[in-house]
């Protein structure tokens, strides 16, 4: 049975003009440079990466909020990138998104009730009379009581706003939800509540999640499978337990070691990477990670030849020439 | 605020007073008295009533012309700002041309061309020469607002561009638009008064504050009130429109004052 | 026991808002010793940032004000009563501060070299040439490669990590005795965060500075802090040595926070979280401010506000009646 979400070779380049009046060298920001993955129905794939990894752009491209430069996205057998506007609009009912910034993603001039009802209005799913009931229902699903409907976003806390965003995304009863850093802007205690909510909703509605995040500890808690992105490409992907127990790519290892652990007695063997994330306009030749790579066997091959994702058993793939001998 | 309400209300309420039309010669240039609180002008008309009727004209021109400018300006600006790309470039080039042409010259040209200009045509011309600035303002707002996360959220939900512009962009941009519109009313009134003063605007016997000031010119030494009161009124009303703009903008923002 | 370098006693900073008086910091006391790292931990609305801004009197005076009766003592002088020139001499010199958003905290129209040099010129009286040399030296010390060239670049040309290093260079150039770091790594990627933390640890050891670290990340606290003060509701609700805090937290809020943090080695189970939300600073709950969200609360908690009570471990105290009545602790 093929997966609900299948992405192949997704590419997104943003043109950047330099020089006066648009003349001069045309450069390209290679935000996403060939990303492929699959998500079976009802499961959660986490897309992890830091700034400049391209993970947010992947989410936007899948929803066609930015038009992809190349690649294929098959949703339930439908070729999403080939759809025209009306079919795309119809498809939006089945794929939705939750944004990172709970205050920014809600129109400050619309009440909570209006914001949640908006998808119903756009797709004509409920008459004027039916809407308040639907809104109350959705609010209840995210743990907010009906009294929130007439309030404005600025009257709510960050956690509550995020719940409203979730309720709005659920209004269309989608099958696939892209969660773009949904808990990053929230306090730790609220983050826990929202993560629990997302998991409960997944159980209740059989939702499929693409969970975009940079916090590896959060990802551990929610994902079935993890894909690590660096400089526009996936460098490793594996079932969650395997990735954390036995990472194969040096970047994954550095990332894991850099996460501060809330335990004073935990051994501190941080692998501190030097340098910064490469420029997306001119990424390094060969393996994009090689200038910063701390692998002892790093060599001339790494600068020349970009490694492909290779299989290492247990459904784990990594793009490293030395994957058999991880650090 | 009160000032603006008074300026707004008086011209609307007072016209229902006994009509003010040029009258008996014997009452020419009478100073303010009980019968005529603001005096009379050289045509023996009661200044107060003329002021009040003139207000309707001046205010009417101000409001209507602004409305026209507003409608066209918002439509063009919002479309250009939201669509971007060549639509934007095309529209903005047109705006640039419009801005380059001095408004007064166009107005004078039209007026002299047509010899006798009805108030309606005046309103139309003033309005149609005034939308360029508004469209640039709206476009700037549209450009910044369209990047805000909640607009992206609306797109993700499948909202059509029309819905996004009307439901999300414009309400968010309302504040500067309203302030600009209020200022515009004041400006138009000044413009109209100026034109009328020069004889190019509203024609007698229809009263307008500009014409009233002109009429009183000859009597400045003997009967200064004939020019003074209309002039004062123009200034006060324009100021109050600015205040109205500020007040409306604050009232429309659902967020409380953040200290 | 060495005398504290910086001590805060009963600090109260209130803000006048249309909704009433926000008692953002409501009686906070702690001490910072030379060479020590004290972490002040809290979530939004706890008052931790306002506390750090109050120390250098960076609170905008209307609508905020620090109440008389608050005491902030640095090297024997009360910072709250210093004259403006005296205060300016302390800022950046004796006490330096690093902020959360490095790209925004730097002036966009000056090169970073100029900005660092300016600190040296103002406080150390160096000439332009000397200050510039010092600035480049500092950039090297904070690990910016190609420092001489970087010094001539503008903030927008640099990455977040590099900007934060620039801020640290500016803060350290006068060898301050105290460094206040307000969420210095929150806006940075985790690998860059590791670099910055490592840099701070190194410089602290070199210069013998005391560090006041404001953060919400318990992982960073565990790795870097000697002592921790947990804030909630504008007050310190627990202080302890780091090890004691993590091993046996006294205050239910601390315990709740620890239980809410997802772990790298944890599974996919439900996280505890803390029910409810942070109350607004204009209306703190009666009695213990945490009681509406506390699983152990009983009548006394609703009516009597607990003071900081000493717990069994030395140096650990918590603002909770459970310290005196441990029998009331419910099994959770």
Query: Would you kindly state where each structural domain of chain C is located, as residue ranges?
Result: 1-94+179-189+209-247
Q: Do B150 and A96 touch (CB under 8 A)?
A: no
CB contact under 8 A, A108 and B157: no
> Quick one: average pLDDT of C33-43?
92
Give the chain B residue whose CA is nearest to the CA of C16: B259
Res. B201: pLDDT tops 80: no
Task: Name the residue facing A65 among B156, B163, B254 (closest C-beta).
Answer: B156
Whether the pLDDT of residue B11 is over 50: the answer is no
- Test B257 with C18 for CB contact under 8 angstroms: yes
Over residues A3-25, the pLDDT tens digits come to 889 999 999 998 876 655 555 56
The helix or strand, by DSSP H or E, that contains position C113, with its residue range, turns out to be: helix C112-124
Of B149, B163, B254, Cβ closest to residue A122: B163
The mean per-residue pLDDT over the stretch C20-43 comes to: 91
Q: What is the mean pLDDT of residues C148-165?
A: 87
Q: What would the two tokens of residue A142 be?
A: 């995210």
Which residues of B fall below an 8 Å CB-CB distance to A?
A: 148-150, 152-160, 163, 167-168, 171-172, 254-256
Q: How far apart are CA A258 and CA A270, in angstroms?
A: 5
Q: B256 pLDDT band (50/70/90 cuts)?
A: very low
Contacts 24+ apart (CB under 8 A), A86-92: A88/A64, A88/B158, A89/A123, A89/B158, A89/B160, A92/A63, A92/A172, A92/B156, A92/B157, A92/B158
DSSP reduced 3-state for C310: strand
Query: How confident is residue C181, by pLDDT bands cut at 50, 70 and 90?
Result: very high
Distance from CA of B250 to the nearest CA of C (A): 15
Range with lowest mean pLDDT among B162-166, B250-254, C223-227: B250-254
Of C240 and B258, the structure prediction assigns the larger pLDDT to C240
How many contacts, defined by CB atoms under 8 Å, are there between B and C? 9
Q: Enumerate neighbours of B (3 or more CB pairs within 8 A).
A: A, C
Preceding amide of B205 cis, omega within 30? yes
- Per-residue tokens: A199: 């998991």
Mean pLDDT of C140-163: 86
**DSSP labels for A118-169?**
HHHHHTT-S-TTTHHHHHHHHHHHTT--GGGTT--GGGS-HHHHHHHHHHHH
Structure tokens given for C197: 């933390």
Provide the percentage of residues in chain A whose pLDDT is more than 70: 97
Considering only the beta carbons, identify the residue of C43, C197, C246 that sits closest to A263.
Answer: C246
- Between CA C284 and CA B251 the distance in angstroms is 30
> Which residues of chain A does C275 touch, with a Cβ-Cβ cutoff of 8 Å?
193
Specify the pLDDT at position A165: 92
Closest CA to C215 of A216, A214, A262, A218: A262
Residues B8, A11: Cα–Cα separation, whole Å:
60
**Chain A residues whose beta carbon lies within 8 Å of the beta carbon of residue C44:** 158, 187
CA C96 – CA C105 distance, rounded (Å)? 14
Q: In this complex, do A99 and B153 lie within 8 Å of one another by their Cβ atoms?
A: yes
Name subunits touching C (3+ CB pairs < 8 A).
A, B
Chain A nearest-CA distance from B4, in A, is 27
Where along chain A do its domains lie? 5-94+174-318
DSSP one-letter string for A82-95: G--HHHHHHHTTTE
- Region of A71 (left: φ > 0; alpha: ψ -120 to 50; beta: rest) is left
Distance CA A32, CA A70 (A): 10
Q: Name every chain B residue with its beta carbon within 8 A of the beta carbon of C18.
A: 256-257, 259
Strands C317-318 and C309-310 come out as antiparallel
In this complex, which of A63, A123, A152 lies closest to B156 when CB atoms are compared? A63
**Are residues B77 and B142 in contact, defined by beta-carbon separation less than 8 angstroms?**
yes
Average pLDDT over residues A144-154: 89
Q: Which two tokens stand for residue C174?
A: 């006068």
Chain C residues close to A211, C-beta within 8 Å: none
Q: Do B256 and C18 touch (CB under 8 A)?
A: yes
Residues of B in contact with C17 (CB under 8 A): 259
Alpha-carbon dihedral sign for residues A63, A67, A69, A74: positive
Interface probe for B, chosen from A94, A99, A105, A113 (most Cβ of B below 10 Å), is A105
Distance from CA of A49 to the nearest CA of C (A): 9
Query: Residue B259's pLDDT band (boundaries 50, 70, 90)?
Result: very low
How far is B137 from chain A, CA to nearest CA, in Å?
Answer: 20
- What kind of fold does domain A5-94+174-318 have according to CATH? Rossmann fold (3.40.50)
Q: What are the residues of chain C with a beta carbon less than 8 Å away from any beta carbon of chain B?
A: 15-19, 62-63
Q: Which CATH number fits domain C1-94+179-189+209-247: 3.30.70.3270, 3.30.1360.30, 3.30.365.10, 3.40.50.300?
A: 3.40.50.300
User: C268 vs chain B: nearest CA distance in angstroms?
Assistant: 29
Find chain A residues with C-beta within 8 A of C153's C-beta: none
Q: Is the model's pLDDT at B4 over the cut of 60?
A: no
C19–B256 C-beta distance less than 8 A: yes
Judged by CB atoms closer than 8 Å, whether chains meet at A187 and C278 is answered as yes
Mean per-residue pLDDT of chain A: 88
**Per-residue pLDDT tens digits for C212-237:** 999 988 989 998 899 999 999 999 99
Picking from C264, C271, C277, the nearest residue to A159 by CB comes out as: C277
Taking an 8 Å cut-off on Cβ atoms, the answer to whether A273 and C191 are in contact is: yes
pLDDT at A83 over 60: yes
Listed range (A17-31, A272-286, C152-166, C313-327) with the worst mean pLDDT: A17-31
Q: Report long-range pairs for B36-40 (Cβ below 8 Å, ≥24 apart).
A: B38/B225, B38/B229, B39/B223, B39/B225, B39/B226, B39/B229, B40/B226
Residue of C nearest to A215 (CA): C190
Taking residues A82-104, report their average pLDDT: 88
Q: Do C19 and B257 touch (CB under 8 A)?
A: no
DSSP-derived letter for residue C11 is: E
Size of interface A-C (CB pairs under 8 A): 139
- The whole-angstrom distance between A154's CA and the closest CA on chain C is 13
Q: What is the mean pLDDT of residues A87-114?
A: 88
Out of A105, A108, A118, the one facing B254 most closely (by C-beta) is A108
Residue B210, token pair as written in the block: 């500009």
Between A98-102, A278-282, B190-194, B241-245, the lowest mean confidence (pLDDT) is in B241-245
Q: Is B63 left (phi over 0), alpha (psi -120 to 50) or beta?
A: alpha
Task: Average the pLDDT over B7-14 and give the result.
Answer: 46
Interatomic CA distance for residues A176 and A166, integer angstroms: 13
> Who wins on pLDDT, C38 or C59?
C38
For testing contact with chain C, the best of A46, A183, A189 (most C CBs within 10 A)? A189
**B101-117 tens-digit pLDDT:** 888 788 777 777 776 66
Disruptive mutation site among A52, A183, A186, A188 for chain C (greatest number of C CBs within 10 Å): A188
pLDDT in tens, A275-293: 777 878 888 888 888 888 8
pLDDT computed for residue A207 by the predictor: 94
pLDDT beyond 50 at B2: no
Q: Residue B12's pLDDT is what?
A: 44
- Beta strand C309-310 with C235-241 is unpaired
Highest mean pLDDT among B50-59, B85-94, B105-114, C110-119: C110-119
Asked if A107 lies within 8 A of B171 by C-beta distance, the reply is yes
Band of residue B16 on the pLDDT scale cut at 50, 70, 90? very low
The mean pLDDT value for A126-131 works out to 88
| Sign (positive or negative) of CA dihedral C125, C129, C135, C140 | negative
Nearest by CB to A122, which of B148, B158, B255? B158
The pTM is what? Answer: 0.81
Superfamily of domain B38-252: MetI-like (1.10.3720.10)
Q: Which helix (H) or strand (E) holds A34?
A: strand A26-39
- Mean pLDDT over residues C195-206, rounded? 88
Q: How far apart are CA C253 and CA A326, in angstroms?
A: 41
Nearest-Cα distance to chain B for C271, in Å, is: 28
Q: Say whether A160 and C217 touch across the interface (CB within 8 A).
A: no
A219, two tokens = 């990802």
Grade residue C318 by pLDDT with cuts at 50, 70 and 90.
very high
- pLDDT tens digits, residue range C243-282? 999 999 999 999 999 988 888 887 778 888 888 888 888 8
Instruction: Identify the H or E element spanning C74.
Output: strand C71-74
Task: Between A220 and B216, name the one with better pLDDT.
Answer: A220
CA distance B222 to chain C (A): 55
Cβ contacts (< 8 Å) between A92 and chain B: which residues? 156-158
What was the pLDDT predicted at B91? 87
Residues of A in contact with C272 (CB under 8 A): 192
pLDDT at A197 over 60: yes
Per-residue model confidence (pLDDT) at position A17 = 67
């Amino acid at each position: 049975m093929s997966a609900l979400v299948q992405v192949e070779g997704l590419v997104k380049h943003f043109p950047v003009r330099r020089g006066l009046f648009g003349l001069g060298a045309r450069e390209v920001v290679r935000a996403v440079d060939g990303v492929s993955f699959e998500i079976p129905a009802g499961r959660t794939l986490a897309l992890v990466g830091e700034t400049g990894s391209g993970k947010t752009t992947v989410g936007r491209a899948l929803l066609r909020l930015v038009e992809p430069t190349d690649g294929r996205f098959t949703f339930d057998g439908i070729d999403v990138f080939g759809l025209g506007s009306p079919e795309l609009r119809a498809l939006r009912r089945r794929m939705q998104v939750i944004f990172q910034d709970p205050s920014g993603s809600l129109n400050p001039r619309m009440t909570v009730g209006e914001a949640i009802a908006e998808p119903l209005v756009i797709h004509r799913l409920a008459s004027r009379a039916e809407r308040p009931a639907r809104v109350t229902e959705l609010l209840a699903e995210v743990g907010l009581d009906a009294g929130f409907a007439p309030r404005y976003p600025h009257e709510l806390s960050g956690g509550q706003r995020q719940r409203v965003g979730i309720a709005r995304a659920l209004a269309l009863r989608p099958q696939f939800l892209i969660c773009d850093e949904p808990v990053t802007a929230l306090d730790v205690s609220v983050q826990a509540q929202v993560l629990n909510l997302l998991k409960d909703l997944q159980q209740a509605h059989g939702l499929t999640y693409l969970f975009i995040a940079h916090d590896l500890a959060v990802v551990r808690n929610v994902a079935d499978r993890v894909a690590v992105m660096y400089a526009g490409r996936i460098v490793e992907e594996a079932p969650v337990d395997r990735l954390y127990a036995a990472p194969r790519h040096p970047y994954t290892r550095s990332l894991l070691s850099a996460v501060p652990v809330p335990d004073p007695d935990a051994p501190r063997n941080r692998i501190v990477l030097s340098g910064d994330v490469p420029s997306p306009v001119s990424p390094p030749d060969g393996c994009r990670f090689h200038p910063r790579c701390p692998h002892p066997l790093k060599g001339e091959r790494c600068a020349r030849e970009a490694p492909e994702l290779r299989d290492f058993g247990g459904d784990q793939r990594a793009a490293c020439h030395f994957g058999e001998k991880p650090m | 605020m009160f000032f603006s309400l008074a300026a707004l209300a008086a011209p609307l309420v007072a016209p229902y007073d006994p009509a003010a039309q040029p009258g008996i010669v014997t009452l020419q240039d009478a100073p303010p008295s009980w019968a005529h609180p603001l005096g009379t002008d050289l045509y023996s008309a009661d200044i107060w009533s003329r002021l009040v009727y003139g207000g309707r004209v001046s205010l009417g021109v101000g409001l209507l012309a602004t409305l026209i400018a507003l409608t066209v300006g918002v439509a063009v600006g919002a479309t250009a700002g939201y669509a971007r790309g060549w639509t934007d470039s095309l529209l903005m080039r047109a705006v640039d041309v419009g801005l380059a042409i001095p408004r007064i010259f166009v107005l004078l040209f039209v007026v002299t061309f047509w010899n006798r200009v009805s108030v309606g045509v005046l309103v139309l011309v003033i309005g149609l020469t005034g939308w360029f600035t508004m469209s640039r303002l709206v476009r700037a707002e549209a450009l910044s607002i369209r990047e805000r996360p909640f607009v992206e959220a609306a797109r993700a939900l499948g909202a059509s561009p029309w819905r996004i512009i009307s439901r999300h962009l414009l309400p968010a941009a309302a504040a500067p638009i309203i302030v600009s519109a209020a200022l515009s009313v004041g400006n138009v009134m000044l413009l109209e008064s100026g034109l009328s003063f020069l004889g190019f605007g509203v024609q007698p016997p229809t009263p307008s504050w500009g014409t009233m000031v002109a009429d009183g010119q000859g009597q400045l030494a003997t009967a200064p009130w004939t020019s003074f009161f209309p002039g004062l009124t123009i200034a006060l009303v324009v100021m109050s429109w600015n205040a109205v703009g500020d007040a409306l903008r604050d009232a429309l923002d659902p967020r409380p004052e953040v200290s | 026991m060495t005398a504290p370098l910086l001590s805060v006693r009963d600090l109260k900073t209130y803000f006048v808002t249309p909704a009433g008086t926000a008692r953002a910091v409501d009686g906070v006391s702690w001490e910072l010793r030379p060479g020590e790292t004290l972490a002040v931990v809290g979530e939004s609305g706890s008052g931790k940032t306002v506390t750090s801004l109050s120390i250098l009197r960076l609170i905008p005076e209307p609508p905020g004000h620090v109440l008389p009766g608050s005491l902030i003592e640095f090297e024997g002088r009360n910072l709250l009563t210093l004259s403006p020139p005296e205060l300016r001499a302390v800022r950046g010199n004796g006490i330096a501060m690093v902020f959360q958003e490095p790209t925004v905290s730097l002036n966009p129209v000056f090169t970073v070299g100029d900005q660092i040099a300016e600190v040296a010129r103002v406080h150390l009286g160096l000439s332009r040439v000397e200050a510039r040399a010092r600035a480049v030296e500092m950039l090297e010390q904070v690990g910016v490669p190609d420092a001489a060239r970087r010094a001539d670049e503008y903030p927008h040309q640099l990455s977040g990590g590099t900007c934060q290093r620039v801020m640290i260079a500016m803060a350290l150039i006068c060898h301050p005795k105290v460094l206040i770091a307000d969420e210095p790594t929150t806006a940075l990627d985790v690998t860059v965060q590791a670099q910055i933390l490592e840099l701070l640890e190194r410089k602290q050891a070199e210069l013998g500075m005391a560090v006041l670290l404001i953060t919400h990340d318990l992982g960073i606290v565990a790795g870097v802090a000697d002592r921790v003060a947990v804030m909630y509701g504008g007050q310190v609700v627990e202080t302890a040595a780091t090890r004691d805090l993590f091993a046996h937290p006294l205050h239910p809020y601390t315990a709740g926070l620890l239980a809410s943090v997802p772990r790298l080695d944890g599974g996919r189970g439900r996280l505890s979280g803390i029910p409810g939300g942070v109350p607004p600073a204009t209306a703190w709950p009666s009695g213990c401010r945490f009681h509406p969200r506390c699983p152990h609360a009983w009548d006394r908690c609703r009516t009597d506000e607990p003071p900081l009570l000493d717990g069994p471990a030395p140096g650990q105290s918590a603002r909770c009646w459970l310290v005196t009545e441990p029998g009331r602790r419910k099994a959770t």
